[in-house]
């Protein structure tokens, strides 16, 4: 990565951060976020099932969810999620194409590993991803929605991880799954099968048709369902189950004595040690403790073990604030 800051500039930033009170060049406190702008729905990506654009300072990420019907194996039984992060060439204008690809792959793998369905081993029940992928099932063992979560980093002015996860969370919360019902094939009754179409009137034909193709009302339990059809409802479908449990990331930029949140591009270079913490919360109202979903320690340097657990706890409070702010904006709960 091309060095954009001189040693003097870096030391200036670190010295002012570690002074008392800590000073940041844009006047924020150490744990203040920049203004978070949110746009969602059709104004962002009209062709997607759910989409959102998050802008934090100069960092801008668009995420969109598309649902596509896929044939699934009997043992799989639920929908899958595929994540992909693309970085626009404009996001990293000072990097070569190969370096941009590396960043893309890093972010994709982080997202994919967070969002792939796993069975949790504790007593709390299933993880949010398995709850979510169950709600993507159309016909158990046969057809399910595959969720394509595409995120595009349009520009990066620091703290891209947090913004990426915020955008993905907002897009998933904005997603509506089209309502489906199973269609099953019923054996035509004896009386109707002996009649010929030509002999009967038009009304009888319709009746017969309705007899053969029965719509299984209890769609999910219809064992003999042959196919599915889309319900014609006024809304565009239901929300994804467990969407409120969708995770957020909080990046702590760690200095020996303190940490800062939402670092700008310059601060990220001066404070290279980043701790990305990913949390999921059941609901904010119950005040239940969050689930810790992932952690990445990025950049050179190290954190003492004793210090780490404190950071994880503090990260949880920040994440909780972030989630509740987003929930208010997205009108969840």
Partner 1 sequence: MSSRVEILNAGGYRSDGRTQYELRSLEIILGDSSRPRTINLHDSASNPHPNAPDGSAIVGHGLTVVSARVFGPREPLLRREAIHDRAKLSVQVAMLPFSGGMAGRRRGRGDKRLLELGAAIESTFESVVQTGLYPRSQIDIVVEIHQQDGGTLQAAINSVTLALTDAGVAMYDQVVAVSAGLHSTAVLLDLTHHEENDMPHLTVAVMPRSGKVTLLNMEARLHVTRFEAVFKIACEAVTVIRDEMNSVISKRTTSLVASISDSAGPRNLRAGNEMDE
Q: Which residue has the tokens 């907002």?
A: 170
Residues 156, 100: Cα–Cα separation, whole Å: 12
Q: Is the dihedral of CA 133, 137, 141, 144 positive or negative?
A: negative
Assess 168 for contact with partner 1 (CB under 8 A).
no
Instruction: Give the one residue of 11, 15, 18, 93 binding partner 1; rule: CB under 8 A.
Output: 93
Which strands make up the sheet holding 259-261, listed edge to edge? 259-261, 248-254, 274-280, 291-298
Shortest distance in whole angstroms from residue 151 CB to partner 1: 9
Shortest distance in whole angstroms from residue 58 CB to partner 1: 4
Shortest distance in whole angstroms from residue 123 CB to partner 1: 38
Residues 40, 51: Cα–Cα separation, whole Å: 6
- The closest of 161, 128, 147, 149 to 54, measured between CA atoms, is 161
DSSP H/E element including 288: none
Q: In 175-299, where does DSSP find H-type helix?
A: 190-194, 202-212, 265-270
Residues 259 to 278: which contact partner 1 by CB under 8 A?
A: 264-266
Shortest distance in whole angstroms from residue 303 CB to partner 1: 26
Segment interacting with partner 1 (CB under 8 A) among 21-29, 110-118, 196-204, 297-305: 21-29
Contact residues for 120 (Cβ-Cβ < 8 A; gap 6+): 126, 127, 130
Assess 324 for contact with partner 1 (CB under 8 A).
no
Instruction: Give the one residue of 9, 26, 205, 231 binding partner 1; rule: CB under 8 A.
Output: 26
Residues 47 to 76: which contact partner 1 by CB under 8 A?
A: 47-48, 51, 55, 57-58, 62, 64, 66
Which residues of the shown chain bind partner 1 in the complex (CB under 8 A)?
2, 4, 26-28, 32, 34-35, 37, 45-48, 51, 55, 57-58, 62, 64, 66, 84, 86, 88-94, 96-97, 101, 148, 150, 152, 154-158, 264-266
């Amino acid at each position: 990565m091309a060095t954009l800051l001189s040693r003097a500039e870096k030391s200036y930033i670190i010295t002012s951060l570690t002074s008392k009170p800590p000073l940041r060049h844009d006047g924020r406190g150490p744990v203040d976020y920049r203004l978070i702008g949110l746009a969602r729905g059709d104004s962002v990506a009209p062709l997607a099932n759910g989409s959102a654009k998050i802008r934090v300072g100069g960092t801008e990420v668009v995420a969109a969810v598309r649902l596509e019907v896929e044939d699934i194996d009997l043992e799989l039984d639920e929908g899958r999620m595929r994540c992909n992060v693309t970085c626009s060439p404009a996001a990293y204008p000072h990097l070569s194409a190969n370096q941009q690809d590396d960043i893309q792959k890093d972010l994709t793998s982080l997202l994919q590993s967070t969002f792939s369905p796993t069975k949790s081993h504790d007593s709390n029940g299933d993880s949010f991803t398995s709850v979510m992928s169950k709600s993507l099932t159309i016909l158990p063992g046969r057809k399910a929605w595959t969720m394509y979560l595409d995120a595009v980093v349009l520009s990066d002015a620091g703290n891209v991880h947090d913004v990426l996860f915020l955008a993905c969370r907002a897009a998933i919360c904005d997603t509506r799954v089209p309502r489906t019902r199973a269609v099953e094939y019923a054996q035509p009754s004896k009386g109707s099968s002996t009649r010929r179409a030509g002999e009967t009137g038009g009304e009888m034909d319709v009746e017969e048709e309705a007899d053969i193709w029965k719509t299984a009302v209890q769609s999910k339990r219809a064992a003999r369902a042959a196919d599915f059809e889309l319900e014609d409802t006024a809304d565009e479908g239901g929300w994804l189950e467990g969407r409120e449990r969708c995770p957020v990331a909080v990046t702590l930029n760690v200095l020996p004595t303190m940490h800062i949140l939402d670092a700008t591009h310059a601060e990220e270079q001066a404070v290279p040690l980043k701790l990305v913490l990913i949390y999921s919360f059941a609901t904010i109202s119950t005040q239940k403790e969050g689930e810790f979903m992932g952690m990445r320690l990025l950049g050179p340097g190290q954190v003492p073990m004793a210090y780490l657990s404190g950071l994880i706890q503090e990260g949880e409070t920040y994440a909780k604030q972030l989630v509740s702010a987003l929930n208010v904006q997205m009108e969840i709960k």
